[in-house]
Structures are given as structure tokens and as C-alpha cells.
Amino acid sequence: MTTVLGCIADDFTGATDLAGLLARSGVRVSLRMGVPSEPPGDTAAFEVIALKSRTAPVKDAVAETRQALKWLQAAGAKRFFWKYCSTFDSTATGNIGPVAEALMDDLGCDQTIYCPAFPENGRSIFMGNLFVGQQPLAESPMKDHPLTPMQDSNLMRLLTPQVTRPVGLADRLTVARGAQALRADLAAQKAQGTAHVVVDAVANSDLEIIAEACRDMVLMTGGSAVAMPLPALYLADGTLSADAPKAVTPTLEAGSILLSGSCSAMTNKQVAQYQTTGAPSYQLDPLTLANSGPQTVLEWLSKQDLSQAPLIYATASPDSVKAAQAKLGVAEAGELIESVLAACAVAARDAGARRFIAAGGETSGAITKALGVTQLDIGAEIAPGVPWCYAISNSHQIALTLKSGNFGTETFFADALAKLEAA
Ligand SMILES: Nc1ncnc2c1ncn2[C@@H]1O[C@H](COP(=O)(O)OP(=O)(O)OP(=O)(O)O)[C@@H](O)[C@H]1O
Ligand SMILES: O=C(O)[C@@H](O)C(=O)CO
């Protein structure tokens, strides 16, 4: 069917996050890993293209996003959503602002909004300042992020050096006055030449007002949550027909594998919690892998009963990650582990695994690539922003969940397996 909303996300777990929130509507949502090489064929009402552009050089991020836009336009989309991280992960040079401006230029639009708020996951914006739980962004663990350390909490100050046109704010007091007031405020700012407007939101009810006020904008930008109300708005006014294809749940064979390359505080807790369930687990050590390769873990995996959902993880404390990085190099350590987890995913699939849980954005990218997955259909949500996804890998129907490092509660891994049983 014709695509109603074309979405572009700057990383893989972020793309499943957005796709999962859109899929809460029950309407089919399709996720593409990278810009498809084929022109659009069987497209869904909501199409999400996942890029790996968050920390790419600005020029590459812009070029790749433009290609994604062209594909979505060919799928029939007239409205677009640019999804970045709910913690606004970016640097003074990009990539949030430059990509947004490139999309605005290509779409001929002169204003867009910026709303990374995701209240269900503790991200809120007040007077243009982003909070993670009760902490300002710059006092949260994001201040120490290895690639995009967020050392300012003010979104206008963060965005201004990334763009060429004026940046403004629509604050919570305006949002609280409703969609009409917000629309009037945006129009007044547009008349004064303000192209980029940060919009406050602290609760889902704010996001509903913002989505209603901005639903006719050619381009909206934000975290996933501000897009969540759009399907219901489109269904209500007939932009999306009530008989638009619904999400379907395919039948799956048993056999599960959990692969974790995320070292976030939450993933560390999730790995520890899963181990208390008695499930088999294997810890990857980067230094051992560098010396002797993946043979030992692959042998261990070949002896596992996949109905026990074994876990293979490189997840470690910040200190041991730093120690491994000091010896091997940051990128080298990461790539080594990603390649081993990807090899484990393929070996597990060939041994009969059909349910895959991947933790970490980079890790998820490596695993989906190794499994040859290019398109996923979105299923039930396990935790806010983390859905099950269905795909074909080497002619097998598989289910995959790609968990963003910071998302989910401590029992996420067991919750994910249980959710699939219940589906
Ligand atoms: N023990 C380790 N030592 C060094 N690097 C590691 C170790 N374990 C994992 N890594 C690497 O750290 C990186 C973790 O990034 P990844 O994006 O997968 O997780 P994340 O940052 O927690 O997730 P997200 O991007 O969704 O927030 C990967 O490149 C992974 O290979
Ligand atoms: O918005 C978020 O926090 C996540 O979807 C994400 O982008 C993970 O990398």
C-alpha cells in the first residue's frame, strides 16, 4: 500500500524503538535495514529505514539520509519523520541538525520541530532542557558517552551550532494550552524566520498535543515517542484507511539465543538478572578472543540445548571495558566482539535457533547483517521502545528483538522470551 509516513532513524535499535511505538496502533509497520537496493514494492503504511549514521561523518550521514528520503518518496510518502536518540546524541557538528536541514531543503519546508522526549523511558523536556529521569542530560551517565558525550542539557544550545538557521522554543506553557495554541506559536515563530523549534514535553499527553499540532508538517523530528500518536490521528481523519493491513504474528519454531554486546548500566543488570534464572551463559573475553579466536565459544554453543535460551555476552563493567580498549583499541575491541557475536548468531541459526535477542545498537547492526536480514515486520512490544520483530533469515522465519542499551527493566531477557510464548 502507499506509505503514509516515511521515517528515517539514525541507528538500528532507535529504528525498532520508533517502529514499535507506531505498531502500538495495530497497523503494519515495516522496517528496512539500510536503504533498500530495490525500488519500493510491498510497502507498509508506516515505513522506517534504519541507518547507521549517528556518528558517521556529517557528509556521509546527509548523503545516506537523502537516499533514504528518495526511497520513501518513491513509496508514496508525503510526510516524513527523522528519528534520533531520546538523549539527543550528537556533537557540535552533527548529525541531528545537518540531516534535518538537508531533509528540509529537499522537501522544500521552512520549519520543523525537535522533540526527543520519551516520558515512558524517563526522557522529558522543560524550557528546552532535556532530563534523563530526574537528572539534567549533562549530569546523567550520557555525559561520559564515549562517542557523543552530552555536556549541555539545553537543546537550543546543542542544536544552534549544528544548523544554519535560527533555533527557537515552544515551551511547556504553550503546549499545555493545546494544539491550536501550539500551532499559532509555531506560525508566529515561522513568520519571524525560526526554522528549528525545540518543543517541551514532560508527559504523553503533551506528545498528543504536539502530534496533533504538527501532524501536517512535511517533516517532524524527534525521539520515537512524539510519533506515537500519529497513526491514531491518521486513522481518525481517514488519511489512513481503517482496513490498512494489520501486523501479523508468524508461527515460529522453538530455539532461542541471547547475544549481548551492550555494556550499559542497564544491560549489565539484565545480564546478571538472567543468570539468576539458571539459563546457560558464556562470557566473551576480548583479550582471549584476540589471541585465540572464536573457536571456544562456537564449540560451547554447539553443545547447548537451544530450548534453554543460552546467553553469550561481552557485557562488562566500565573498568574492564576500558582495560580491554586500552590493550586492543576502542574500535578494534568493539569490532572484534561484534564479529564474534555475529558469528554466534549465524551458528545458532544453523543449529535451529529462531528467536534472537540482541542487546546494543552496534551489536544489533552486526547481528542483523550477519543473518542477512534486510526487512522486518514489527510485532508485540516487550518494554517501551523494544518490540519483537519478524524476518526471514536463510529461508527461516525468525523473530528478533534489538534492545537499545539503556532500555528495558532488569528482567528484560526473560520478559522477551515469555512475550513470544504468549504471542
Ligand atoms: N568487554 C568489552 N570490551 C570492549 N568493548 C566491548 C566489550 N563488550 C562490548 N563491547 C563493544 O562495545 C560496543 C557496545 O555498543 P552497542 O551499541 O552494541 O551497545 P550500547 O551502546 O549499549 O547500545 P545503544 O547504542 O543501543 O545504546 C560494541 O561495539 C561492543 O562490541
Ligand atoms: O531514542 C532512544 O533512546 C533509542 O531509540 C535509541 O536511539 C537507541 O540508540
* 228 in the same domain as 288: no
Domain membership flag for residue 84: yes
Nearest CA to ligand 2 atom 5: 14
Give the domain CATH number at 149: 3.40.50.10840
Distance 1 CA to ligand 2 centre (A): 28
pLDDT of residue 246: 81
Q: Say if residue 154 is preceded by a cis peptide, omega within 30 of 0.
A: no
Domain membership flag for residue 249: no
* 286 in the same domain as 215: no
Crossing angle of helices 96-107 and 58-74, rounded to 10°: 40
Domain that holds residue 60: 5-237
Please, which pLDDT band fits residue 180 given cuts at 50, 70 and 90? very high
Report yes or no for ipTM above 0.90.
yes
* 80 in the same domain as 199: yes
Nearest CA to ligand 2 atom 8: 14
407 pLDDT above the threshold of 70: yes
* 81 in the same domain as 13: yes
Which residues, other chains included, contact 387 with Cβ-Cβ below 8 Å and sequence gap of 6+? 16, 19, 20, 23, 378, 379, 380, 381, 401
Which atom of ligand 1 approaches the CA of 14 most closely?
26
How many of the other CB atoms lie within 10 Å of CB of 303? 8
Domain membership flag for residue 290: yes
Give the domain CATH number at 269: 3.40.980.20
* 409 in the same domain as 272: yes
* 188 in the same domain as 82: yes
Please, which pLDDT band fits residue 242 given cuts at 50, 70 and 90? confident
Query: From CA 32, how far away is CA 50, in angstroms rounded?
Result: 6
Query: From CA 209, how far away is CA 192, in angstroms rounded?
Result: 23
pLDDT of residue 146: 66
How many of the other CB atoms lie within 10 Å of CB of 405? 23
Please, which pLDDT band fits residue 248 given cuts at 50, 70 and 90? confident
Name the grid cell of 394. 536463510
* Range 318-352 burial, b when 16+ CB lie within 10 A, else e: eeebeebbeebeeeebbebbbebbbbbbbbbbeee
Domain membership flag for residue 128: yes
Distance 274 CA to ligand 2 centre (A): 23
Q: 334 CB less than 6 Å from ligand 2?
A: no
* 269 in the same domain as 220: no
* 216 in the same domain as 268: no
Domain membership flag for residue 246: no
Q: 286 CB less than 6 Å from ligand 1?
A: yes
* 317 in the same domain as 183: no
Name the grid cell of 389. 520483530
Distance 340 CA to ligand 1 centre (A): 13
Q: Nearest-CA neighbor of 78 among 99, 50, 47, 34?
A: 47
Distance 263 CA to ligand 1 centre (A): 5
**Number of domains composing the chain:** 2
* 67 in the same domain as 191: yes
* 134 in the same domain as 107: yes
* 282 in the same domain as 198: no
